[in-house]
Amino acid sequence: MSKIIIACGGTGGHLAPGIAVAEVLQERGHACLLLISYKQVDSALIEKYSHLDFVKTPGRAFTGSIFQRLAFLGSLVSGFFTSRRMLREQAPDIVLLFGGFLSLGLGLAARSKSIPVALHEANCHPGKAVRMIKYLSTRIYLPDGVRLGGVPPESIRYFDYPVRKDIKHSPKADACKRLGLSVPNKLLVVIGGSQGASALNEWVKQNFRLLAKAGISVYCVTGLGNSTASTIHERGKGGVNITATFVPFSSSMGDVISAADLIVSRAGAGSIAEIIRCRAPSVLVPYPYAADDHQKANALAHEQHGAGISLSQDKLNELNSAVLDLIFNDEALTNFKSKLERLDRFDSSERIADDLLSLCNSQAMPKADKQVPAR
């Protein structure tokens, strides 16, 4: 049995793939410990995964003012020594890092103790933490087509985003039933990512009356802390009741996405991977202040694959017409779904698990050789 420590907290985009890989490893009889942050989104996301082992650990992002960056350096030093103690106690065979502020301290500590480091980058533009950790890594997992300089080519594997097993495509009627929704003629689902998107939430509130007149119901995942659960009612054609449902968080994102005729979403790698898995045509609105503008790169790549369209936030006034043009265009929706099916990689979690275990075995063999007494 191998033991793997996975650093994956801070955002849903880091945590969800960590859970996906841990589930595969645990099913095969291996031990996993997942390091997550104290953020509310991490606590909410792990509730349904009580069969996995999580440890909360502090950390800070490398952003903001000079004082915030100094605080990050203090947090990094503290995280390094905390991680060394954890590694001494847990004695893992390998650590797997999903980027973000929790990864750097653990990566440095692992290398200081000669423990192999594997690194996963999900975005089309690698983030700051990944660009720093890459030099420490034995193995780096990247999306197809992404390049990362300064590392040996043989250390790179092109494996896509690991999606949790409970995120899967379902027929619209079944998904609506599990969500407690009557099956609407057309349903627009709006997702702001794990941390929500106030601009998209406001767009729904300001434009719902127009959408309702066209017969479009809305299900909006606002993000934790952005609002409480609520429902707005409007009259559509012929006096039909049309609803906009607002929920801060959903632990059933597979059903939420599968229920949609069309998605409006931020363009984090995790959101896009789940949209692909559930075959949902989408309009992606990248968060304009994302680090290194990585969401814009993600959205443009998705659009270039013919799986959806990208719309910048400064053109939100065009979102109404984009939604109305697409959601009633069955030919375009069918074409998008066909492209989404071709993009899906069902085995990313399994391939990463296979490779991690191969690395564990290759590390174990020299240790075993040293323990054989000389004759």
Strands 230-235 and 241-247: antiparallel
- 138 CB-near residues (< 8 Å, 6+ apart): 94, 116, 117, 118, 155, 359
- 245 CB-near residues (< 8 Å, 6+ apart): 181, 217, 218, 219, 220, 229, 230, 231
Range list of β-strands (E), the chain: 3-7, 31-36, 54-56, 94-97, 117-120, 139-142, 156-158, 186-191, 216-221, 230-235, 241-247, 262-265, 282-284, 309-310
List the structure tokens of 367. 């240790």
The candidate with the shortest Cα–Cα distance to 344, out of 284, 286, 275, 290, is: 275
82-100 pLDDT tens trace: 899 999 999 999 999 998 7
The Cα 113–Cα 93 span in angstroms is: 11
Q: Which amino acid is at 128?
A: K
189-236 pLDDT tens trace: 999 876 668 899 999 999 999 999 999 999 999 988 766 789 999 998
The candidate with the shortest Cα–Cα distance to 124, out of 335, 334, 273, 275, is: 273
**DSSP-based three-state secondary structure for 162:** coil
How many CB atoms sit inside 10 A of residue 233's CB?
10
pTM: 0.91
Q: Which of 63-77, 218-232, 268-282 has the highest mean pLDDT?
A: 268-282
> In this structure, what are the phi and psi dihedrals at residue 120, rounded to the nearest 5 degrees?
-115, 130
The per-residue b/e assignment along 91-114, b for 16 or more CB within 10 angstroms, e otherwise, is ebbbbbbbbbbbbbbbbbbbbeee
Structural domains of the chain, ranges and CATH numbers in brackets: 3-160+346-362 (3.40.50.2000), 172-343 (3.40.50.2000)
Instruction: Name the average pLDDT for the chain.
Output: 90
Give the least confident one: 71-80, 219-228, 243-252.
71-80
Counting Cβ atoms within 10 Å, is residue 152 exposed (0-12), middle (13-18) or buried (19+)? exposed
DSSP secondary structure string for all residues of 321-353: HHHHHHHT-HHHHHHHHHHHHHH--TTHHHHHH
The Cα 126–Cα 291 span in angstroms is: 9
Q: Which amino acid is at 111?
A: R
Decide if 172 contacts 183 (C-beta within 8 A): yes
